[in-house]
Amino acid sequence: MSEASRDRTRLAGLVLCGVFVLMAGRGGYLALSGAPESSAATMAAEVTPKALRGEIRDRNNQLMAATVEVHSLWANPSLIWDAEDVSIGLKEVFPELSLEDLKLRLSDPSRQFVWVKRGLTPRQRESVMALGLEGLGFRTETRRAYPLGALAGHVLGQVNVDGKGIAGVERTLDAALASGEAPVQLTLDIEAQSALESELAAAAALYEMEGAAAILMNTHTGEVLAMASWPAFDPNRAADIPANDPSRLNRAIGAVYELGSIFKPLTLAAALDRGAVRPNDSFDVSKPVLVGSFEVKDTHKFAQTANLTEIMVESSNIGTVHIARELGVPRLTAFLDAAGLMSRAPIELPGSERPLMPKHIDDVTAATISYGHGMSVSPLAFLTAFAALGNGGEMAPPTLLLDPERKVEPSPLVSAITAEIVLRMMRESVVRGTGQPAEVAGYRVAGKTGTGEKAIAGGYDKNANISSFAAIFPEDGPQYALIVTLDNPKATVGRGATASGSAAPVAGRIIERVAPLFGVTPRFDDVRPARPGLTARTPERSAL
């Protein structure tokens, strides 16, 4: 062999050694840098996920939220030879991604890891693998799934992209759910929840309202059997819903309203219980009452004098103010505080809104508060106090967590006798008063309508109402309390803008659907008492 041949052989050997040294060094660098153990032409090994987030179930063990495994696509730009070619291929599978952004992120050789797309469908994963592109890998992750879609979406809430609870029960019970030890069971009943949500959706179509809330509660345990807010919120689509979208607000706890005349039963209960008035006491309802610089009027004339039952049945603002004056400011204020209406409603959800109160309750503000104006509270805060009238005068704290060993510790609000008296008055309001559209044959509904002008900055919108109906049923054996609140229903049918024309019939339809679910026995021998307590009755009357 010539000297020249030997030199060429030595050179080739040195080149090959250099290549092997570079490859070994590169392999060591990638191993130390945490890059995937794969060649440029193969996919990375999948990462074993952490413990699955716990399930959420309803009171009947029906699945409401679960964790599923999904594949997410990532890339190692340092292993990509042609970023433009890879970006074009990925764009074909994921047309929603920006081609320029992909090229920019995949062209940086100093990076070993960038996310391309998280939460792939099986078909998307297969399509990526079929491309055979270099520098790509899959990681097995978990995603939260809500099999019932938008049903109870506001209660369930959502998790972020990393699986951490950021809203609803998912946030409140994040630690317990993250441990994955056992399912969380809620007090909700899926069928009752469906009834509330579907009736609110139907009302939205009928009355073209801006929003709505409805809550169904067990009066004895405080268990929330259903909690609905409209517009509905689908946690499966949470990533696509803007932060300021109206559907994100849980109006059952996160909005406060001047609820109008549904406050009257509480005012009457406070006055009766404190001995300020007696059931058969009569008051002059023939003329407006001067409160400060303005007059309190009724929407219709119905008598010269009326007792407490007729004041309730006719929803008399004048009569209620007279009763509130007998009660007095100190005792009314103490009652509101005891009823929890001066603080946030306690519940296992984030976002319970505090009430809007006057800085000081005086004769004027006490008068307006007595019939549901000048004080804004959340539907849940009101229902918690109102439900005491169906629990012997005791308030059971509301809860969304089903715990068979939970010991209910109610707070006394009024006596059992007072609660029964007011309950009978509300039954009369449904039988022959403004609450008639909420009557459901056989289920003995007791309740009260409430219509008030919508509060806005600096005053009230005379063209917009908050319409509500609060109910307890069955009246002769109270078990359940319900509130329906509609934000600015339009008078598209009948008296749709008033509670009698909107919230009351919605409540009636809900009760008709849920009462059989909970085994309420219908009874059709309800004897309706005579109409006592009126003098010089006039025929003028319009529903509130």
Q: Which residues are catalytically annotated?
A: 261
CA 450 to chain centre: 21
CA 121 to chain centre: 30
- Give which of 291, 458, 287, 284 is closest to 365, Cα–Cα: 291
Residue type, 258: E
What six digits make up the tokens of 135? Answer: 């520098």
Task: Output the CA torsion 377→378→381→382 (10° steps).
Answer: 70
Q: How many helices (H) and strands (E) does the chain have?
A: 17, 19
Q: Exposed, middle or buried by CB within 10 Å (0-12, 13-18, 19+), for 195?
A: buried
Pairing mode, if any, of strands 56-57 and 184-185? parallel
Helix (H, G, I), strand (E, B) or coil at 127: helix
Phi, psi dihedrals of residue 142, rounded to the nearest 5°: -115, 150
Contacts with 100 (C-beta within 8 Å, 6 or more apart), sequence order: none
Note whether 508 and 233 are within 8 A (CB): no
CA distances from 381 to 32, 72, 257, 366, 473 (A): 58, 43, 11, 19, 19
* HEC letters along 391-459: CCCEECCCECECCCCCCCCCEECCCHHHHHHHHHHHHHHHHHCCCHHHCCCCCCCEEEEEEEEEEECCE
Q: 10 Å Cβ neighbour count for 29? A: 12
Task: Give residue for tokens 């945490």.
Answer: 34
Note whether 413 and 384 are within 8 A (CB): no
- Determine if the peptide bond prior to 265 is cis (ω within 30°): no
Q: What angle do CA 142, 146, 251 make, to 5 degrees?
A: 125
Sequence-ordered strand ranges (E) for 79-204:
114-120, 136-145, 158-159, 165-167, 184-185
